[in-house]
Amino acid sequence: MRLTHLLILLMVVALSASLALPAYGQDGGATFKAKCAACHGPEGQGKIGPKLAGTALTQDQIVDLLTKGADARKPPHKKPFSLSADEIKAVAAFVKTLK
């Protein structure tokens, strides 16, 4: 009986963890703070990198920049980012909310 309860508990924990991980990828704010804020500031106000709050770039342009990179940009934007497509879209959507 105790073994059954332990197995059920482990399954519930594993299922919860597997459902929570994709949600992290969908949270553009968390990804931005983890990957972008060091240079662009936590509110997109700019630091080493340019200000992103109120950017004129469209969400699609931000997605393209993060997906393909741009030779005219400073590192790390010269090459594509190692984020999933969903994470990139979520970050782009978050950037567009910054004012």
**Rounded to two decimals, what is the model's pTM?**
0.71
- Which class is 2-97 in CATH? mainly alpha
The pLDDT assigned to 5 comes to 62
The pLDDT assigned to 45 comes to 97
Q: Is 54 left (phi over 0), alpha (psi -120 to 50) or beta?
A: left
The pLDDT assigned to 80 comes to 80
The pLDDT assigned to 7 comes to 60
The pLDDT assigned to 13 comes to 58
Distances (CA, A) of 86 to 4, 27, 56, 91: 37, 9, 22, 9
Q: Are 84 and 76 in contact (CB under 8 A)?
A: no
Domain locations along the chain: 2-97
Can you list the residues of the chain whose pLDDT is less than 70? 1, 5-7, 9-26
